[in-house]
Amino acid sequence: MRISLLTIFGATLLATSAQALYDKNGPVLELTAQNFKEEVMNDGHLVAVEFYAPWCGHCQRSLYYDRLAPAWKKAAGNLKGLVKVGAVDCDQDSNKPLCSQYGIQGFPTIKLFAPSSDPSKKATKRPTDYQGPREAKPIVDHLLALQPSNVRFVKGDASQVKSKKSISLNDFLDTDNSTLPKALLFTDKPTTTPLYKALSVDFADRMLFGEVKKSVKEAVESFGISKYPTLVVLTPDSGAIEYSGKLKKDALEDFLKQHALPAPEQSKKKNKSKAKKDESKSQKDDPTSESNSASFDPKVANLMTDKDLEDQCLSKSGICVIAILPAVDAEDERSSKEQADALHILEEVKRLDNEKNGNLSPFLFQWADANVGKSIITKFEMSQDYPTLVVVKPTKQVYRPFVGAWNENSIKTWLDIVAAGRFAVWDYKGDIRLSPVEKSPRDEL
């Protein structure tokens, strides 16, 4: 059999150009049988995979490759950090079983591996064929339309929640509140940006992502938002933190990493260092230590008279946290327990605040029953669904009523936001007074 020099040269040229089809340092990820599971199946992002062969037996295929390769590279560059774009060389012996597994019969074949929207099938990815145009823009548009997202749409209250992706502000703040950090993006855009979707996938199980539209006035006003977009992170330890850096993926990732739960591979390292920290910190956190026991009073002051109110709140420079608890009704045995339970939660909030802020806490905790606190409820337009509370700063004559579930996590997070200055407050005029207790008339013998 005679093989011409031209044939050999042509075959060599095709092989050489094919080897350079996708640069290892380029935007297209080189996928192999060894890394396919980790890079594709175990990745939470949408992954687009081109299965190709570097040789070509027909001229039209060579021309087709010439058209697809630049478009695939351009699409990969445009989608960097948003959608993973890769390629498998099916001519490599080690990759042939992989190509056979996915039924690859012609080249190039593009398959899309999207994560399941069902949480119970989190690790499941069923590939689908891409049959659209082979130009960069249609490829990018199609992949972005399929981009997964863990972003919840935060509404002002439960009545506005109309889908599984929506959640009320209270429920969002209450979700695993003692441990799970949260990111809230306030936006005036009609749809969620690809960047925010990608970040929500990057930080899955490490941070809860929410989005608040400009039209959701209750949430916007609660955080005092005046410009868009504004990103706020809420953590159990640090309260509300507003992001002020560049709106670029790398910068946002660095910021979110500081407040998110550690990545799984970091957990073991963190646990080891935590053990050492706990040992050195034990004396500081010991409630029996001299410094803590001497300064912290776990009891919450009970306001019964205007003098109590003056001494505990009005004459102070801090922020008064005034809780209105259910009044005890002698004819209702349950009322005493309801008040005691509500007070216990308030005392726990005070304890948590002391653990975090110590003597630097701005809050002054106190409570009154619903009968004594009637005038406060009226003055500050508070809910009459007890227990409830209001924060008041007498030196500036401003206030903010609490809205949320009566539990330690909800109240503590809300107070953290107050302390960070992220809530809008309202002015009040005049004095604050308690209501005199009216003694119920009794039959006398």
DSSP 251-299: HHHHHHHHHSPPPHHHHHHHHHHHHHHHHHHHHHH-TTSHHHHHH---S
3-state secondary structure of 178: coil
Of the pLDDT bands very low, low, confident and very high (cuts 50, 70, 90), residue 124 is confident
- Tell me the C-alpha distance between 40 and 34, whole Å: 11
- For residue 358, the model assigns a pLDDT of 82
pLDDT tens for each residue of 339-383: 999 999 999 999 998 888 887 788 999 999 999 999 999 999 888
- For residue 103, the model assigns a pLDDT of 95
Residue 261 pLDDT greater than 90, yes or no: yes
Topology annotation, domain 152-261: Glutaredoxin (3.40.30)
Note whether 5-145 and 152-261 share their fold: yes
- Tell me the C-alpha distance between 231 and 225, whole Å: 10
- For residue 266, the model assigns a pLDDT of 52
Q: How many CA atoms lie less than 13 Å away from 27 in the CB half-sphere?
A: 18
Residue 74 pLDDT greater than 60, yes or no: yes
Residue 14 pLDDT greater than 60, yes or no: no
- For residue 198, the model assigns a pLDDT of 97
Rounded (5°) CA angle 371-377-383: 105
Residue 385 pLDDT greater than 70, yes or no: yes
Selected residue with higher pLDDT from 32 and 385 = 32
Query: Residue holding tokens 């330890």?
Result: 237
Query: In this structure, how many other beta carbons lie within 10 angstroms of the beta carbon of residue 338?
Result: 17
Whole-angstrom Cα Rg for the chain? 31
Average pLDDT value over all residues in the chain: 83
pLDDT tens for each residue of 288-341: 343 444 478 889 999 999 999 999 999 988 899 999 999 988 777 788 889 999
- For residue 13, the model assigns a pLDDT of 42
* Cα dist from 17 to 9, 14, 88, 95, 108, whole Å: 12, 5, 16, 20, 16
- For residue 8, the model assigns a pLDDT of 37
| Section 203-222 average pLDDT | 93
First to last CA, the chain: 130
Give the dihedral sign, CA 287/292/293/299.
negative
| Section 103-107 average pLDDT | 91
- Say if residues 257 and 183 touch (Cβ distance below 8 Å): no
**Burial environment of residue 13 by CB neighbours within 10 A (0 to 12, 13 to 18, 19 or more):** exposed
- Say if residues 154 and 184 touch (Cβ distance below 8 Å): yes
Domain boundaries, the chain: 5-145, 152-261, 297-427
- Tell me the C-alpha distance between 265 and 420, whole Å: 32
DSSP per residue over 66-105, as a string?
A: HHHHHHHHHHHHHTTTTSEEEEEETTSGGGHHHHHHTT--
Q: Which of 31-45, 52-66, 251-265 comes out lowest in average pLDDT?
A: 52-66
- For residue 238, the model assigns a pLDDT of 75
Q: Which residues pair with 30 in a beta bridge?
A: 87
CATH code for residues 297-427:
3.40.30.10
Class for the domain spanning 5-145: alpha beta
Selected residue with higher pLDDT from 350 and 61 = 350
Q: Would you say how long the chain is, in residues?
A: 445
> Under 8 Å CB-to-CB from 161, ≥6 apart: which residues?
155, 167, 168
Of the pLDDT bands very low, low, confident and very high (cuts 50, 70, 90), residue 148 is very high
pLDDT tens for each residue of 214-239: 999 988 988 889 999 999 999 877 77
| Section 70-85 average pLDDT | 96
